[in-house]
Structure 1
Amino acid sequence: MSATTAPSRARTGRRGALGWIALVMALALVALVGGSLVYGGYQRRAVLDPDSAGPDGTRALVRVLEQQGVRVTIARDRAAAARALAAPDATLVMRDAPMLSDAALRDLAARARHTVLVEPRSRALDVLMNGSSLGGIARDEAVAPACEVPAARRAGDARATELLVPGIGVTGCYPVDGEFALLTRERDGRTVTALDGLAVLTNAALPLDGDAALAIGVLGQSETLVWYVPSPSDADEGTAAPTLAELTPSWVTPSILLLLTAALAAAIWRGRRFGPLVTERLPVTVRANETTEGRARLYAASGDAAHALGELRRAARVRLGRLLGLAAHAPAVDVADAVADRLRADRFVVRGILVDDIPRTDRELVAAADRLRDLEASVRAAVRTEGTTR
């Protein structure tokens, strides 16, 4: 081994090692960023979440209630909510819980003295508020209470967006076109209230009009407030929709893993090694005149005189445009007009030579090619003459 070969191979080995290190670092970076995004997605609080300080969160309302002496308990599953509601005279606040059955909704509401639905949907309204339902959407503006509910009467005007239709025995407040922004039902000393939480309770909506007073009046009816945030795991056994893993046959997951492993092994096996690019010699070199002659024979064999003349015209227009100082992609008509101006010739005749005339026979093709050659020669002579005169 020569003295010059050893350092060269050492440099190549170092470059290969550095390439593999860069690949590993890149994969680690992708995994780190992906994990951060996934973890951040899990950590991101939902709308109307009592721990969220975002515009659609409700942490500001929770802090105000705590300052008013209300003990707020945040329950993030059904079991925790049931345990927290063991205290007498408690208020339950919950958003829509589609995973709960009708019986589960009734059971949870029966544990509380006051129940507040802050994101009501048709099923919960029908089950807990005696056949009430969703209505239309109102303009985001303040509305007078127009009812005798104490919390609404003390709050005065408040925002109304999502409207509700009351059922039998249900009182409506903040009317808009026959529908209401707040519904209340009282029975046996227990109350169920429904309102659009996004329009009244959120951090962004709380300072508007009488929203804060209405929120405190509805949610602060007792010393204990249980804010229930529904979880998908709260579904009753047998009522939850089957997951993708449950619907997938058992052989699918091992097959996917096997295919991914095979693809990774093939990528490593067939991947280009790290190092300098290698120039490969072509097996044969074709001269330009042979290519031109071959294309000419193809044109002759096809008998397409118009196409052959079009190729000649295209090349001639490029050369003429270069002689006359035109743009490389100047239209054919502009080249013809510039040639006519330089030669002081008839525009229609020049356009016929460079653009319009269509040969139908080989004889006409030869004549057109001769006119094209003579025109180019005349332009070259005119340009050369002007350069000599200057």
Structure 2
Amino acid sequence: MTAVDQAATGTSTAETRPRRVRTIVGWLIVVALVLLVAFVALRVSASGPGARGTLDPEGRDDSGALALAEILRDQGVEVSVVRSRTEARAAVGDDTTLVMTNPYTLSDDALTELLEPADRIVFLSSGTHLLNVLDIGENAPGSSAPTDAGCDVPEFAEVGTIRADRFFSPADGVEGCFGDADGAAVLVDDGADRDVLVVEGTKLFSNAYLAENGNAALALALLGQTERVVWYVPSFSDTDIEGQSPDTLGSLTPPWVTPVILLLFTAGIAAAVWRGQRFGPLVAETLPVTVRASETMHGRARLTAKAGDAPHAGEALRDGAQRRLARRLGLAVHAGADEVADAASDRLRIPRGTLQALLAGPLPADDAALVELARRLDELEAAVEASTHTTRGEP
């Protein structure tokens, strides 16, 4: 080999090594960025929302009920906040009101055991299942216009008017107040053993709306009739319902599969780094025409648009969204709109009437209404999906 060849070979080797080093460094940077993004995503998903929930007597945010608890204390009512059903049952005594929001985390037996020693019970929010368990009434339509008591319950005489968000149809023997012939905002079951009162107070009694209309007066009429109030706060940490996780691909996969996949992935990266410098430059090549699978979807959409059948399209969108929401909320696939609205309202801490109108209200009559319905359903699914990831990430 001549000196010129040796010099050329040395130069080529010297030029190749820096390029290979730069390639390896580039791959390392890519891997580091992927790991950084994954770490940030895990941290964000694991960070939960506020420490207090809707109508929590110690909650200071807009959805909490600390203002109501303080008003009761100012009126001389002893307010005891408990977060265990065992402690709540033990704390109930004479001249005591047991208060709670919809106890969706308790089974029917646990709820019956909790309510057994109480003489006066007030539910500040409710769901379809709770109404059936109490046999006190059912959901009903109503107007959001201001309404007064309109009943013979003495403590409601000086309340004034309220703007209710949800209405009920009282069962036989149950008196309805603050409503009309179609529905009442407050149900009063004045039984022989105990008094049970149900109201949808998620918006009425929260810190943000307590000062409006007669909301504070209604709260005092409901909770200020006894010397003591035992305020039970339901939570998943105090539930007696044993959830059963469905079989997933991870649970059905043998334990040796994951290490093998990781090993193959590592080997593939190593092979790409090893052989990456031996390929020549990229060559542009004309590829055959491919038909995307999404064309079928677009074709059906064009047929529906051409037919101008907005109600049928809206019904299809709503049915699909309801099934997906039921699966994400842990309900049966064929759960009704009322059950899905109840579960989503409890999960997202928003008024149940809004979700009921979205999932079971009138179908869109034109394209503009159809687009608005699709947008709102998509926002609801995204919010439920985000809250599901947040709940799983909580300790």
TM-score bin, normalised by smaller chain? 0.5 to 0.7
Q: Which residue of 1 aligns with 2:228?
A: 224
CA distance in 2, matches of 1:259, 1:73: 56
| Distance apart, 1:256 and its partner CA | 6.4
When residues 220 and 189 of structure 1 are mapped into structure 2, their CA distance, relative to the original with a 3 A threshold, is farther
Report if aligned partners of 2:165, 2:200 keep a CA contact under 8 Å in 1: yes
| Distance apart, 1:143 and its partner CA | 0.5
Q: 1:1-390 maps to which residues of 2 (within 5 A)?
A: 9=17, 13=21, 16-17=24-25, 19-21=27-29, 23-41=31-49, 43=50, 45-83=52-90, 85-86=91-92, 88-128=94-134, 131-188=135-192, 190-232=194-236, 234-236=238-240, 240-244=242-246, 251-252=252-253, 254=255, 257-258=258-259, 261-262=262-263, 264-272=265-273, 280=281
1:338-374, CA deviations, whole angstroms, 9 ceiling, x for partnerless residues? xxxxxxxxxxxxxxxxxxxxxxxxxxxxxxxxxxxxx
Report if aligned partners of 2:52, 2:58 keep a CA contact under 8 Å in 1: yes
1:321-340, CA deviations, whole angstroms, 9 ceiling, x for partnerless residues? xxxxxxxxxxxxxxxxxxxx
| Distance apart, 1:88 and its partner CA | 4.3
CA distance in 1, matches of 2:144, 2:274: 63
CA distance in 2, matches of 1:276, 1:248: 37
1:140-167, CA deviations, whole angstroms, 9 ceiling, x for partnerless residues? 2210101232332221211223111222
Report if aligned partners of 1:93, 1:115 keep a CA contact under 8 Å in 2: yes
When residues 250 and 30 of structure 1 are mapped into structure 2, their CA distance, relative to the original with a 3 A threshold, is closer
CA distance in 1, matches of 2:125, 2:139: 13
When residues 34 and 147 of structure 1 are mapped into structure 2, their CA distance, relative to the original with a 3 A threshold, is same
1:119-159, CA deviations, whole angstroms, 9 ceiling, x for partnerless residues? 2234433443xx32223232222101012323322212112
Which amino acid in the other structure matches residue 46 of structure 2?
V
| Distance apart, 1:74 and its partner CA | 3.7
CA distance in 1, matches of 2:30, 2:137: 60
1:36 match: secondary structure: helix
CA distance in 1, matches of 2:111, 2:30: 56
| Distance apart, 1:86 and its partner CA | 4.5
Which amino acid in the other structure matches residue 201 of structure 1?
F
Report if aligned partners of 1:166, 1:172 keep a CA contact under 8 Å in 2: yes
2:209 match: secondary structure: coil
Q: Percent identity?
A: 29
Report if aligned partners of 1:91, 1:114 keep a CA contact under 8 Å in 2: yes
| Distance apart, 1:188 and its partner CA | 4.8
When residues 15 and 133 of structure 1 are mapped into structure 2, their CA distance, relative to the original with a 3 A threshold, is same
Aligned length: 276
When residues 15 and 224 of structure 1 are mapped into structure 2, their CA distance, relative to the original with a 3 A threshold, is farther
CA distance in 1, matches of 2:27, 2:157: 73
1:140 match: secondary structure: coil
| Distance apart, 1:266 and its partner CA | 4.9
Which amino acid in the other structure matches residue 79 of structure 1?
T
When residues 257 and 227 of structure 1 are mapped into structure 2, their CA distance, relative to the original with a 3 A threshold, is farther
Structure 1: which 5+ runs fail to align?
283-390
Report if aligned partners of 1:138, 1:162 keep a CA contact under 8 Å in 2: yes
CA distance in 2, matches of 1:102, 1:147: 30
Report if aligned partners of 2:176, 2:184 keep a CA contact under 8 Å in 1: yes
1:180-214, CA deviations, whole angstroms, 9 ceiling, x for partnerless residues? 11011234573211001124212333222101111
When residues 32 and 75 of structure 1 are mapped into structure 2, their CA distance, relative to the original with a 3 A threshold, is farther
Higher relative contact order (CA 8 A, sep 6+): 2
Report if aligned partners of 2:96, 2:228 keep a CA contact under 8 Å in 1: yes
Report if aligned partners of 1:136, 1:164 keep a CA contact under 8 Å in 2: yes
Report if aligned partners of 2:93, 2:117 keep a CA contact under 8 Å in 1: no
CA distance in 1, matches of 2:24, 2:83: 52
Report if aligned partners of 2:83, 2:238 keep a CA contact under 8 Å in 1: no
2:270 match: secondary structure: helix
CA distance in 1, matches of 2:234, 2:282: 69
Greater shift in the superposed pair: 144-153 or 249-258: 249-258
Q: Which residue of 2 aligns with 1:310?
A: none
Q: Which residue of 2 aligns with 1:356?
A: none
CA distance in 2, matches of 1:125, 1:224: 25
Report if aligned partners of 1:94, 1:228 keep a CA contact under 8 Å in 2: yes
1:82 match: secondary structure: helix
Structure 2: which 5+ runs fail to align?
1-8, 284-395
CA distance in 1, matches of 2:255, 2:145: 57
TM-score (norm 2): 0.57
CA distance in 2, matches of 1:149, 1:191: 12
CA distance in 1, matches of 2:249, 2:239: 21
CA distance in 1, matches of 2:93, 2:226: 11
CA distance in 2, matches of 1:224, 1:263: 66
When residues 24 and 176 of structure 1 are mapped into structure 2, their CA distance, relative to the original with a 3 A threshold, is same
Which amino acid in the other structure matches residue 102 of structure 1?
D
